[in-house]
């Protein structure tokens, strides 16, 4: 058996949701004095475990609020689980809400450096790949225009180009394939398909069952934070379909 690339061990994620959001000192103080601070505990993920090997393409299925996005955040390292652990071997690149991290006042060119360093690349490396990024994003002269003047399609194109300039070992896709116009979408899909062929590991969340079945070979099904099925994508998809009926 090959070594696990993503190893999710018994992950539990609990939130304290206070019935009213208290985010300032004044309210906190008043509520504290009146003994009104109450917390409702909410379990977003409940003892979820699974493993992925190199080249696995996992589809994560579940209704809204099942904990899919939370799971992706935990794997991406953005959120720390309340219990359990996640270990990831290799470079992980999340393609979530492309271009959300851009600085609006900055031009596209400046944002390439900023966003690239956020992803942990060095400046020299970005310089090397700079032309390639601009070419892929098809922005042309717009690269020297502040990002606040970009259309949402242009932003996603640039975001996609920066995020995928390096072949990641693990790719996280959260409904992002709906990027840009049909032509660019095809280009993105081709690029992602190319990565699949070279055997990268993928975590994919989508509500489109067909898309998931086309891309993935394995699947898990979440319901209210619990892992209720895992296995080959077709079996899991069938179960999901039954659930949604």
> Interface with another protein by CB under 8 A: which residues?
15-16, 23-26, 28, 73, 76-80, 94, 96-97, 100-101, 103, 105-106, 110, 113-114, 117-123
- Which tokens sit at 47? 């003892």
Nearer to another protein, 32 or 232 (CB): 32
SS3 content of the chain, % helix, strand, coil (to 5): 40, 30, 30
Nearest approach, Cβ of residue 114 and another protein (Å): 5
| CB-based contact 165:129 (threshold 8 Å) | yes
- CA pair distance 25, 130, nearest whole angstrom: 46
Nearest approach, Cβ of residue 69 and another protein (Å): 10
Inter-helix orientation angle 123-137/108-118, to 10°: 130
Nearer to another protein, 2 or 100 (CB): 100
Nearer to another protein, 114 or 166 (CB): 114
Nearest approach, Cβ of residue 24 and another protein (Å): 4
Nearest approach, Cβ of residue 86 and another protein (Å): 11
Nearer to another protein, 113 or 196 (CB): 113
Alpha helices, H only, the chain:
25-33, 68-76, 108-118, 123-137, 152-163, 182-197, 209-215, 233-244
């Amino acid at each position: 058996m090959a070594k696990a690339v993503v190893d999710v061990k018994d992950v539990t994620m609990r939130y304290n949701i206070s019935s009213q959001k208290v985010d300032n000192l004044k309210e906190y103080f008043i509520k504290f004095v009146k003994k009104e601070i109450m917390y409702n505990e909410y379990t977003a993920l409940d003892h979820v475990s699974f493993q992925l090997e190199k080249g696995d393409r996992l589809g994560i299925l579940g209704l809204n609020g099942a904990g899919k996005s939370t799971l992706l955040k935990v794997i991406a390292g953005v959120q720390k689980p309340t219990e359990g652990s996640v270990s990831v071997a290799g470079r992980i690149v999340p393609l979530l809400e492309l271009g959300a991290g851009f600085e609006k006042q900055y031009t596209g060119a400046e944002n390439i450096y900023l966003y690239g360093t956020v992803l942990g690349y060095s400046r020299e490396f970005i310089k090397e790949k700079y032309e390639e990024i601009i070419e892929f994003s098809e922005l042309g002269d717009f690269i020297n225009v502040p990002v606040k003047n970009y259309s949402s399609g242009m932003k996603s194109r640039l975001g996609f180009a920066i995020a995928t300039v390096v072949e990641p070992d693990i790719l996280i896709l959260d409904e992002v394939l709906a990027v840009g116009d049909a032509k660019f979408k095809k280009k993105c899909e081709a690029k992602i398909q190319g990565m699949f062929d070279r055997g990268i590991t993928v975590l994919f969340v989508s509500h489109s069952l067909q898309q998931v079945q086309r891309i993935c070979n394995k699947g898990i099904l979440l319901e209210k934070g619990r892992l209720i099925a895992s296995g080959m994508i077709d079996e899991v998809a069938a179960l999901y379909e039954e659930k949604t009926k």
